[in-house]
Structure 1
Amino acid sequence: MTMIYPNTYTSFMGHRCIASGPMLANVLAVKKALESKLNDPVLIFDDVTGSFVDVNTQGTDEELAQRYAQVDVAEPEAEQVETDTPRGRGRPKLGVVPREVTLLPRHWDWLATQPGGASVALRKLVEEARRASADKDQRRQAQERTYNFMTAMGGDLPGFEEAMRALFANKLEHFQELLNTWPEDVRDYALKLLSGT
Protein backbone atom coordinates (compact mmCIF):
# COMPACT_ATOMS: atom_id res chain seq x y z
CA MET A 1 0.00 0.00 0.00
CA THR A 2 1.38 3.42 -0.99
CA MET A 3 1.01 6.14 1.64
CA ILE A 4 0.71 9.81 0.73
CA TYR A 5 3.34 12.03 2.36
CA PRO A 6 2.92 15.58 0.99
CA ASN A 7 5.19 17.23 3.57
CA THR A 8 8.95 17.39 3.76
CA TYR A 9 10.86 15.70 6.55
CA THR A 10 14.20 15.91 8.33
CA SER A 11 16.07 12.97 9.86
CA PHE A 12 18.64 12.90 12.63
CA MET A 13 21.10 10.30 13.77
CA GLY A 14 21.97 11.38 17.26
CA HIS A 15 22.38 15.15 16.97
CA ARG A 16 23.48 15.07 13.32
CA CYS A 17 21.10 15.75 10.43
CA ILE A 18 21.33 12.90 7.92
CA ALA A 19 18.53 13.77 5.47
CA SER A 20 16.01 16.44 4.60
CA GLY A 21 13.36 16.38 1.91
CA PRO A 22 10.69 13.93 0.75
CA MET A 23 9.73 10.97 2.93
CA LEU A 24 11.43 8.39 0.72
CA ALA A 25 14.83 10.10 0.92
CA ASN A 26 14.53 10.21 4.70
CA VAL A 27 13.44 6.57 5.00
CA LEU A 28 16.38 5.40 2.89
CA ALA A 29 18.82 7.51 4.95
CA VAL A 30 17.34 6.15 8.18
CA LYS A 31 17.59 2.58 6.91
CA LYS A 32 21.26 3.12 6.03
CA ALA A 33 21.91 4.70 9.45
CA LEU A 34 20.25 1.80 11.26
CA GLU A 35 22.30 -0.69 9.25
CA SER A 36 25.50 1.05 10.40
CA LYS A 37 24.86 -0.46 13.87
CA LEU A 38 25.79 2.73 15.72
CA ASN A 39 24.02 3.29 19.02
CA ASP A 40 22.78 6.80 18.22
CA PRO A 41 19.00 7.15 18.04
CA VAL A 42 17.63 7.75 14.54
CA LEU A 43 14.51 9.92 14.23
CA ILE A 44 12.45 11.49 11.43
CA PHE A 45 10.58 14.77 11.99
CA ASP A 46 7.76 16.31 9.99
CA ASP A 47 8.89 19.79 8.88
CA VAL A 48 5.33 21.14 9.16
CA THR A 49 4.51 19.96 12.69
CA GLY A 50 7.95 19.26 14.20
CA SER A 51 6.55 15.92 15.36
CA PHE A 52 8.37 12.61 15.32
CA VAL A 53 7.26 10.29 12.51
CA ASP A 54 7.41 6.52 12.95
CA VAL A 55 8.36 4.59 9.81
CA ASN A 56 8.94 0.97 8.85
CA THR A 57 12.40 0.51 7.28
CA GLN A 58 12.09 -3.24 6.73
CA GLY A 59 12.42 -4.49 3.19
CA THR A 60 14.51 -3.71 0.13
CA ASP A 61 15.05 -0.21 -1.19
CA GLU A 62 12.56 -0.98 -3.97
CA GLU A 63 9.93 -2.06 -1.44
CA LEU A 64 10.55 1.10 0.56
CA ALA A 65 10.27 3.17 -2.61
CA GLN A 66 6.91 1.58 -3.30
CA ARG A 67 5.75 2.03 0.30
CA TYR A 68 6.91 5.63 0.74
CA ALA A 69 6.65 7.01 -2.78
CA GLN A 70 6.32 10.77 -2.88
CA VAL A 71 2.89 11.44 -4.31
CA ASP A 72 2.18 14.95 -5.48
CA VAL A 73 -1.07 15.98 -3.96
CA ALA A 74 -2.73 18.16 -6.55
CA GLU A 75 -5.48 20.55 -5.67
CA PRO A 76 -8.78 19.08 -6.74
CA GLU A 77 -10.05 20.86 -9.80
CA ALA A 78 -13.09 22.99 -9.26
CA GLU A 79 -16.23 21.46 -10.59
CA GLN A 80 -17.15 23.10 -13.83
CA VAL A 81 -20.78 23.98 -14.15
CA GLU A 82 -22.28 22.89 -17.43
CA THR A 83 -24.21 25.77 -18.96
CA ASP A 84 -26.39 23.46 -21.08
CA THR A 85 -27.92 21.73 -18.07
CA PRO A 86 -30.68 23.64 -16.33
CA ARG A 87 -30.04 24.33 -12.70
CA GLY A 88 -31.94 22.21 -10.20
CA ARG A 89 -34.08 23.42 -7.34
CA GLY A 90 -32.66 24.69 -4.09
CA ARG A 91 -29.52 26.54 -3.18
CA PRO A 92 -26.38 26.25 -5.29
CA LYS A 93 -23.54 24.16 -3.82
CA LEU A 94 -20.94 26.66 -2.61
CA GLY A 95 -18.91 24.40 -0.37
CA VAL A 96 -20.79 25.51 2.73
CA VAL A 97 -20.86 22.89 5.49
CA PRO A 98 -23.78 22.93 7.92
CA ARG A 99 -22.95 22.40 11.59
CA GLU A 100 -24.69 23.04 14.87
CA VAL A 101 -23.81 26.21 16.78
CA THR A 102 -24.83 26.80 20.39
CA LEU A 103 -25.34 30.43 21.35
CA LEU A 104 -27.11 32.38 24.06
CA PRO A 105 -30.53 33.86 23.24
CA ARG A 106 -29.11 37.40 23.10
CA HIS A 107 -26.59 36.22 20.48
CA TRP A 108 -29.36 34.72 18.35
CA ASP A 109 -31.35 37.96 18.74
CA TRP A 110 -28.39 40.00 17.51
CA LEU A 111 -27.72 37.61 14.59
CA ALA A 112 -31.37 37.82 13.54
CA THR A 113 -31.04 41.59 13.06
CA GLN A 114 -27.99 41.34 10.79
CA PRO A 115 -28.33 41.77 7.03
CA GLY A 116 -28.20 38.41 5.27
CA GLY A 117 -29.17 36.48 8.37
CA ALA A 118 -27.27 34.47 10.94
CA SER A 119 -25.13 32.44 8.52
CA VAL A 120 -23.80 35.46 6.66
CA ALA A 121 -23.10 37.32 9.90
CA LEU A 122 -21.27 34.31 11.40
CA ARG A 123 -19.14 33.85 8.26
CA LYS A 124 -18.19 37.54 8.34
CA LEU A 125 -17.30 37.34 12.04
CA VAL A 126 -15.14 34.24 11.51
CA GLU A 127 -13.29 35.79 8.56
CA GLU A 128 -12.69 38.99 10.51
CA ALA A 129 -11.35 37.04 13.50
CA ARG A 130 -9.09 34.94 11.23
CA ARG A 131 -7.58 38.08 9.69
CA ALA A 132 -7.16 39.77 13.06
CA SER A 133 -5.39 36.80 14.66
CA ALA A 134 -3.37 35.51 11.67
CA ASP A 135 0.00 36.68 13.03
CA LYS A 136 -0.73 35.36 16.51
CA ASP A 137 -1.86 32.00 15.09
CA GLN A 138 1.28 31.67 12.96
CA ARG A 139 3.50 32.46 15.96
CA ARG A 140 1.66 29.89 18.10
CA GLN A 141 1.99 27.22 15.40
CA ALA A 142 5.71 27.97 15.03
CA GLN A 143 6.18 27.70 18.80
CA GLU A 144 4.29 24.39 18.92
CA ARG A 145 6.29 23.00 15.99
CA THR A 146 9.57 24.01 17.65
CA TYR A 147 8.42 22.66 21.02
CA ASN A 148 7.56 19.26 19.48
CA PHE A 149 11.04 18.93 17.99
CA MET A 150 12.94 20.30 20.99
CA THR A 151 11.26 18.00 23.51
CA ALA A 152 12.30 14.98 21.43
CA MET A 153 15.83 16.12 20.60
CA GLY A 154 16.91 18.65 23.20
CA GLY A 155 15.53 17.47 26.53
CA ASP A 156 19.00 16.50 27.76
CA LEU A 157 20.84 19.49 26.25
CA PRO A 158 22.11 22.40 28.39
CA GLY A 159 19.64 25.22 28.92
CA PHE A 160 16.67 23.24 27.61
CA GLU A 161 14.14 24.42 30.21
CA GLU A 162 15.24 28.03 30.00
CA ALA A 163 15.11 27.84 26.20
CA MET A 164 11.52 26.59 26.43
CA ARG A 165 10.58 29.47 28.71
CA ALA A 166 12.19 31.94 26.29
CA LEU A 167 10.39 30.30 23.36
CA PHE A 168 6.93 30.70 24.87
CA ALA A 169 7.71 34.13 26.34
CA ASN A 170 8.57 35.19 22.78
CA LYS A 171 12.10 36.26 23.83
CA LEU A 172 13.68 35.17 20.57
CA GLU A 173 17.12 36.73 21.09
CA HIS A 174 17.50 34.98 24.44
CA PHE A 175 16.19 31.76 22.87
CA GLN A 176 18.85 31.93 20.14
CA GLU A 177 21.59 32.66 22.70
CA LEU A 178 20.62 29.58 24.71
CA LEU A 179 20.67 27.40 21.60
CA ASN A 180 24.19 28.55 20.66
CA THR A 181 25.66 25.84 22.91
CA TRP A 182 23.58 23.11 21.26
CA PRO A 183 24.82 20.84 18.45
CA GLU A 184 24.76 22.82 15.21
CA ASP A 185 22.26 20.67 13.29
CA VAL A 186 19.78 20.54 16.19
CA ARG A 187 20.07 24.30 16.77
CA ASP A 188 19.68 25.13 13.07
CA TYR A 189 16.64 22.90 12.64
CA ALA A 190 14.94 24.30 15.76
CA LEU A 191 15.48 27.83 14.45
CA LYS A 192 14.22 26.78 11.01
CA LEU A 193 11.03 25.39 12.56
CA LEU A 194 10.54 28.57 14.55
CA SER A 195 10.99 30.81 11.51
CA GLY A 196 8.70 28.65 9.40
CA THR A 197 11.07 28.49 6.43
Structure 2
Amino acid sequence: MNDEATYTAFAGQRRLASGDLAQVLQRAQKRAARDPHEVVLLFEDRTGRQIDFNPQSTAEEVVARAAPAPPRAGPGRPKLGVVSREVSLLPRHWEWLEQQPNGISAALRRLVEEASKHDPGKELARLSREATSRFMTAMAGNLAGYEEASRALFAEDKAAFEALIAGWPKDIRGYVAHLASPCFQQGSAPTKRD
Protein backbone atom coordinates (compact mmCIF):
# COMPACT_ATOMS: atom_id res chain seq x y z
CA MET A 1 0.00 0.00 0.00
CA ASN A 2 1.68 3.15 -1.17
CA ASP A 3 0.89 6.83 -0.94
CA GLU A 4 -0.57 7.13 -4.45
CA ALA A 5 -4.26 6.28 -4.50
CA THR A 6 -5.25 3.34 -6.66
CA TYR A 7 -8.72 1.94 -7.27
CA THR A 8 -10.36 -1.33 -8.23
CA ALA A 9 -13.68 -1.88 -9.98
CA PHE A 10 -15.81 -4.98 -9.69
CA ALA A 11 -18.60 -6.00 -12.05
CA GLY A 12 -20.60 -8.40 -9.94
CA GLN A 13 -18.05 -10.78 -8.43
CA ARG A 14 -15.45 -10.24 -11.17
CA ARG A 15 -12.57 -7.80 -10.93
CA LEU A 16 -12.92 -5.43 -13.84
CA ALA A 17 -9.92 -3.10 -13.53
CA SER A 18 -7.31 -1.74 -11.14
CA GLY A 19 -5.24 1.43 -11.39
CA ASP A 20 -5.69 5.18 -11.15
CA LEU A 21 -9.25 6.47 -10.78
CA ALA A 22 -9.64 7.89 -14.29
CA GLN A 23 -8.49 4.62 -15.89
CA VAL A 24 -10.67 2.41 -13.68
CA LEU A 25 -13.66 4.72 -14.07
CA GLN A 26 -13.42 4.55 -17.85
CA ARG A 27 -13.53 0.73 -17.77
CA ALA A 28 -16.40 0.77 -15.25
CA GLN A 29 -18.42 3.21 -17.37
CA LYS A 30 -17.96 1.09 -20.50
CA ARG A 31 -19.08 -2.00 -18.60
CA ALA A 32 -22.08 -0.23 -17.08
CA ALA A 33 -23.10 1.10 -20.51
CA ARG A 34 -22.91 -2.40 -21.98
CA ASP A 35 -25.15 -3.89 -19.27
CA PRO A 36 -27.05 -1.28 -17.23
CA HIS A 37 -28.49 -3.97 -14.92
CA GLU A 38 -25.09 -5.26 -13.80
CA VAL A 39 -23.80 -3.89 -10.51
CA VAL A 40 -20.45 -2.14 -10.94
CA LEU A 41 -18.69 -0.99 -7.78
CA LEU A 42 -15.52 1.06 -7.30
CA PHE A 43 -13.21 0.74 -4.29
CA GLU A 44 -10.22 2.74 -3.12
CA ASP A 45 -7.47 0.18 -2.55
CA ARG A 46 -5.81 1.90 0.41
CA THR A 47 -8.96 2.26 2.51
CA GLY A 48 -11.36 -0.33 1.09
CA ARG A 49 -13.97 2.43 0.85
CA GLN A 50 -16.56 2.25 -1.87
CA ILE A 51 -16.47 5.26 -4.21
CA ASP A 52 -19.78 6.79 -5.21
CA PHE A 53 -20.16 5.95 -8.87
CA ASN A 54 -22.81 7.01 -11.34
CA PRO A 55 -22.25 5.57 -14.84
CA GLN A 56 -23.40 8.86 -16.40
CA SER A 57 -20.93 10.97 -14.38
CA THR A 58 -17.89 12.40 -16.03
CA ALA A 59 -14.50 11.29 -14.78
CA GLU A 60 -13.95 14.78 -13.39
CA GLU A 61 -17.16 14.59 -11.31
CA VAL A 62 -16.22 11.24 -9.80
CA VAL A 63 -12.66 12.38 -9.14
CA ALA A 64 -14.03 15.50 -7.42
CA ARG A 65 -16.37 13.39 -5.25
CA ALA A 66 -13.58 10.95 -4.37
CA ALA A 67 -11.16 13.73 -3.36
CA PRO A 68 -10.97 14.60 0.33
CA ALA A 69 -13.09 17.57 1.34
CA PRO A 70 -11.12 20.80 1.50
CA PRO A 71 -10.35 22.03 5.01
CA ARG A 72 -13.04 24.28 6.37
CA ALA A 73 -12.19 27.89 7.05
CA GLY A 74 -11.94 29.03 10.61
CA PRO A 75 -9.44 29.00 13.47
CA GLY A 76 -6.02 27.55 12.84
CA ARG A 77 -3.44 28.43 10.23
CA PRO A 78 -5.07 27.55 6.89
CA LYS A 79 -2.12 28.76 4.80
CA LEU A 80 0.03 26.15 6.57
CA GLY A 81 -2.64 23.45 6.29
CA VAL A 82 -3.52 23.66 9.99
CA VAL A 83 -7.22 23.17 10.66
CA SER A 84 -8.75 23.66 14.08
CA ARG A 85 -10.70 20.67 15.39
CA GLU A 86 -12.27 19.77 18.70
CA VAL A 87 -10.58 17.30 21.06
CA SER A 88 -12.29 15.78 24.09
CA LEU A 89 -10.01 14.88 26.99
CA LEU A 90 -10.36 14.22 30.68
CA PRO A 91 -9.42 17.06 33.09
CA ARG A 92 -6.19 15.30 34.13
CA HIS A 93 -5.14 15.13 30.44
CA TRP A 94 -5.74 18.85 30.00
CA GLU A 95 -3.74 19.55 33.17
CA TRP A 96 -0.80 17.52 31.87
CA LEU A 97 -0.96 19.18 28.45
CA GLU A 98 -1.06 22.65 29.98
CA GLN A 99 2.22 21.92 31.81
CA GLN A 100 4.07 20.98 28.61
CA PRO A 101 6.58 23.38 27.06
CA ASN A 102 5.53 25.25 23.90
CA GLY A 103 1.81 24.83 24.55
CA ILE A 104 -0.93 22.26 24.13
CA SER A 105 -0.89 22.10 20.32
CA ALA A 106 2.87 21.52 20.21
CA ALA A 107 2.58 18.77 22.85
CA LEU A 108 -0.18 17.04 20.91
CA ARG A 109 1.82 17.25 17.67
CA ARG A 110 4.85 15.71 19.41
CA LEU A 111 2.74 12.89 20.83
CA VAL A 112 1.22 12.13 17.42
CA GLU A 113 4.64 12.17 15.72
CA GLU A 114 6.15 9.87 18.35
CA ALA A 115 3.25 7.44 18.15
CA SER A 116 3.33 7.33 14.35
CA LYS A 117 7.08 6.58 14.34
CA HIS A 118 6.93 4.07 17.19
CA ASP A 119 5.63 1.05 15.26
CA PRO A 120 4.70 1.82 11.64
CA GLY A 121 4.15 -1.90 10.92
CA LYS A 122 1.44 -2.04 13.53
CA GLU A 123 -0.29 1.01 12.04
CA LEU A 124 -0.06 -0.44 8.53
CA ALA A 125 -1.60 -3.69 9.79
CA ARG A 126 -4.45 -1.79 11.47
CA LEU A 127 -5.20 0.22 8.32
CA SER A 128 -5.05 -2.95 6.25
CA ARG A 129 -7.51 -4.75 8.57
CA GLU A 130 -9.94 -1.83 8.32
CA ALA A 131 -9.69 -1.68 4.51
CA THR A 132 -10.13 -5.43 4.20
CA SER A 133 -13.10 -5.39 6.54
CA ARG A 134 -14.83 -2.59 4.59
CA PHE A 135 -14.38 -4.40 1.30
CA MET A 136 -15.45 -7.76 2.75
CA THR A 137 -18.60 -6.21 4.16
CA ALA A 138 -19.54 -4.77 0.77
CA MET A 139 -18.57 -7.67 -1.47
CA ALA A 140 -18.47 -10.80 0.69
CA GLY A 141 -21.04 -10.11 3.40
CA ASN A 142 -23.39 -12.73 1.98
CA LEU A 143 -20.73 -15.34 1.21
CA ALA A 144 -20.28 -18.51 3.26
CA GLY A 145 -17.83 -18.04 6.12
CA TYR A 146 -17.87 -14.23 6.02
CA GLU A 147 -18.34 -13.73 9.77
CA GLU A 148 -15.76 -16.36 10.65
CA ALA A 149 -13.30 -14.89 8.13
CA SER A 150 -13.85 -11.46 9.64
CA ARG A 151 -13.07 -12.81 13.10
CA ALA A 152 -9.94 -14.57 11.78
CA LEU A 153 -8.83 -11.32 10.09
CA PHE A 154 -9.03 -9.34 13.34
CA ALA A 155 -7.42 -12.21 15.29
CA GLU A 156 -4.64 -12.27 12.65
CA ASP A 157 -5.13 -16.01 12.20
CA LYS A 158 -3.78 -16.30 8.66
CA ALA A 159 -4.35 -20.05 8.28
CA ALA A 160 -8.00 -19.83 9.37
CA PHE A 161 -8.56 -16.71 7.26
CA GLU A 162 -7.18 -18.32 4.10
CA ALA A 163 -9.17 -21.51 4.71
CA LEU A 164 -12.39 -19.55 5.23
CA ILE A 165 -12.06 -17.47 2.05
CA ALA A 166 -10.85 -20.41 -0.09
CA GLY A 167 -14.36 -21.09 -1.41
CA TRP A 168 -15.10 -17.46 -2.33
CA PRO A 169 -15.16 -16.33 -5.97
CA LYS A 170 -11.61 -16.09 -7.34
CA ASP A 171 -11.48 -12.32 -7.89
CA ILE A 172 -13.01 -11.45 -4.51
CA ARG A 173 -10.72 -13.94 -2.75
CA GLY A 174 -7.64 -12.54 -4.54
CA TYR A 175 -8.46 -8.93 -3.75
CA VAL A 176 -9.26 -9.73 -0.10
CA ALA A 177 -5.96 -11.59 0.21
CA HIS A 178 -4.13 -8.62 -1.33
CA LEU A 179 -5.76 -6.10 1.02
CA ALA A 180 -5.17 -8.32 4.06
CA SER A 181 -1.53 -9.22 3.41
CA PRO A 182 -0.06 -6.49 5.71
CA CYS A 183 -2.24 -7.83 8.55
CA PHE A 184 -0.33 -11.08 8.57
CA GLN A 185 3.21 -9.69 8.50
CA GLN A 186 5.32 -10.85 11.40
CA GLY A 187 5.47 -8.41 14.30
CA SER A 188 2.25 -6.58 13.49
CA ALA A 189 -0.08 -8.33 15.93
CA PRO A 190 -2.83 -6.14 17.39
CA THR A 191 -2.97 -5.33 21.05
CA LYS A 192 -4.92 -8.06 22.84
CA ARG A 193 -8.07 -6.97 24.66
CA ASP A 194 -9.32 -8.60 27.84
**TM-score category of the 2 structures, normalised to the smaller one:** 0.5 to 0.7
Tell me: CA distance 1:16–1:122, structure 2 relative to 1, closer, same or farther (3 Å): closer
Residue 41 of structure 2, aligned match among 37, 40, 43: 43
Q: CA deviation at 1:23?
A: 1.6
Show the counterpart of 1:165: 151
Tell me how far apart the structure 2 counterparts of residues 106 and 165 of structure 1 sit (CA, whole Å): 34
Show the counterpart of 2:31: 33
Q: Report % sequence identity.
A: 41
Q: Which runs of 5+ in 1 are unaligned?
A: 1-5, 74-92
Q: What TM-score do you get using the length of structure 2 for normalisation?
A: 0.68
SS in 2 for 1:137: helix
Q: CA deviation at 1:182?
A: 1.1
Q: Are 1:177 and 2:163 matched, yes or no?
A: yes
Q: CA deviation at 1:148?
A: 0.6
Range with greater deviation from structure 2 (100-109 or 33-42): 100-109
Per-residue deviation, residues 6-29 of structure 1 (Å, max 9, x unmatched): 621101111111111122222222
Tell me how far apart the structure 1 counterparts of residues 25 and 82 of structure 2 sit (CA, whole Å): 39
Show the counterpart of 1:135: 121
Q: What TM-score do you get using the length of structure 1 for normalisation?
A: 0.67
Q: Which runs of 5+ in 2 are unaligned?
A: 68-78, 183-194
Tell me how far apart the structure 2 counterparts of residues 178 and 17 of structure 1 sit (CA, whole Å): 20
Check conservation: 2:52, 2:62, Cα contact below 8 A.
no
Tell me how far apart the structure 2 counterparts of residues 36 and 95 of structure 1 sit (CA, whole Å): 43
Q: CA deviation at 1:124?
A: 3.5
Check conservation: 1:111, 1:117, Cα contact below 8 A.
no
Residue 6 of structure 2, aligned match among 8, 15, 38: 8
Check conservation: 1:11, 1:19, Cα contact below 8 A.
yes
Aligned pairs (5 A) from 1:44-193: 44-58=42-56, 64-65=58-59, 67=61, 104=91, 108=95, 112=99, 116-119=101-104, 121-193=107-179
Q: CA deviation at 1:164?
A: 0.6
- RCO (CA 8 Å, sep 6+): is it higher in 1 or 2? 1
| Number of equivalences | 164
Tell me: CA distance 1:100–1:181, structure 2 relative to 1, closer, same or farther (3 Å): closer
Check conservation: 2:53, 2:62, Cα contact below 8 A.
no
Q: CA deviation at 1:104?
A: 3.2
Higher CA-based Rg: 1
Range with greater deviation from structure 2 (169-178 or 146-155): 169-178
- Which one has a larger percent helix, Structure 1 or Structure 2? 2
Q: CA deviation at 1:133?
A: 4.7
One-letter code aligned to 1:14: G
Tell me: CA distance 1:141–1:37, structure 2 relative to 1, closer, same or farther (3 Å): same
